[in-house]
Amino acid sequence: MSIDELWATILKQSSPSTAVSSSKTVVFLGDSLCGKRTLLSKFCGQDGEIYRGHGLGYDYLPVKSKDDDDLGQLSIYSIDAAAPLRAQIKAALPNKSTLEDSIIVIAVDLSKPWLVLECLAKWIKEVKEHKDQWLELSGGERNDMADNFQKKWLKAGQFEELPEGALSDNLGVEIVVVGLKSDALQGVLNDEGMTEKHADLLQFQLRKKCLEIGASLIYASVKEPRTVETLKAYVLKRLYDVESDILQARGVSREALFIPIGWESEKRVNLLQEGAGLPDEIPIPQQKIYNFEQEIEPEDEQKSLQRVAEILEQAASKNPTAAAAMTKSRLNSSASASPGGAQLPRPSAAGLNASISGSPGGKVRKLT
């Protein structure tokens, strides 16, 4: 073997452990208060909730192989649902090549099961608009993306052809749908008078939609660290081919569901309909109406003065000395609280009685 051939062999053997791959990206989408920020903290291995302020959030994660080789740096973007979306998504996914080297995570809030499908549809629409309109991809480029993603899907599932119902709405983008707060789902259903069949209906609807767009589906809760680790391991597996022992499909769980790309089929989805069947819909709970604007009607002036006079009269009859001292103290307080600290002249008892009896609109018994 020549020197050149020897060096070529050495470089070829060492390249997987020394060369850093091109940057990969994961983008988190989801409505406000769905649990996305807390999920990101756990995903990045940090305690507590990451405060990302207003607008596009960014973090990164060094990626290593099982042999501790550097594989690259995963860019992590979080889209703020309360800020303008177009600029944020375009900054995170600026072109076709970035989009093809990315995973989009759509977070939905399972503690509000009646809103889950609406939320998912909203974010799928944003992804479509970004790909078809904002990036201004040609028809040929969009078809190439759809074909490439179909090949990925078939390879992951070891299929020769697409199962029925799969990729009927091929976006050409790899998506992971994450149902957050899965630990709260059953409690919410119980509180609203629903049953486990409603949880099965939600799972059926989500799995059906994910099959159509070729998305993976994971139920996660930050209270169950293994579910978040499953999401993280799955993203690294899909983007960097990092192997993990926890990536086992779980298609029957209500709290730790995990359906990877290429695993789902209509036959498996329809198993949820067996037996007693499923309800027609997840009802929207009736909103409780609270009246925070109770009107307070002011008491009539004469009635108020009369009530005060009666209270003072009753007190005077029980303890004349204490009542006189209280009246004197209040008069002194009023005088000392005058503007600029000036002493106001003390009204005489006759003057006080006259002012009370002379109130407009009626007579009040004089104090004696």
CB 61 within 8 A of CB 71: no
Return the pLDDT at 109. Answer: 97
Three-state SS at 131: helix
Residue written as tokens 């018994």? 365
Residue among 249, 269, 246 nearest 259 (CA): 249
Helices (H), the chain: 3-18, 36-43, 85-92, 96-100, 116-129, 139-157, 185-191, 196-213, 225-240, 266-270, 301-318, 320-336, 349-357
Strand order of the β-sheet with 258-259 is: 57-64, 70-78, 24-30, 102-109, 174-180, 216-219, 258-259
Complete domains list, the chain, with CATH: 21-273 (3.40.50.300), 303-357 (no CATH)
Return the pLDDT at 285. Answer: 86
Spell out the SS3 assignment of 5-44: HHHHHHHHHHHHHHCCCCCEEEEEEECCCCCHHHHHHHHC
Three-state SS at 361: coil
CB 94 within 8 A of CB 130: no
Return the pLDDT at 198. Answer: 92
CB 194 within 8 A of CB 283: yes
Distance CA 168, CA 84 (A): 30
Q: Give 31's Cβ-side CA count (13 Å radius).
A: 17
Return the pLDDT at 107. Answer: 98
Amino acid, single-letter form, for residue 128: K
Distance CA 149, CA 145 (A): 6
Residues of the chain with pLDDT under 70: 1-22, 47-53, 288-295, 320, 322-368
CB 250 within 8 A of CB 237: no
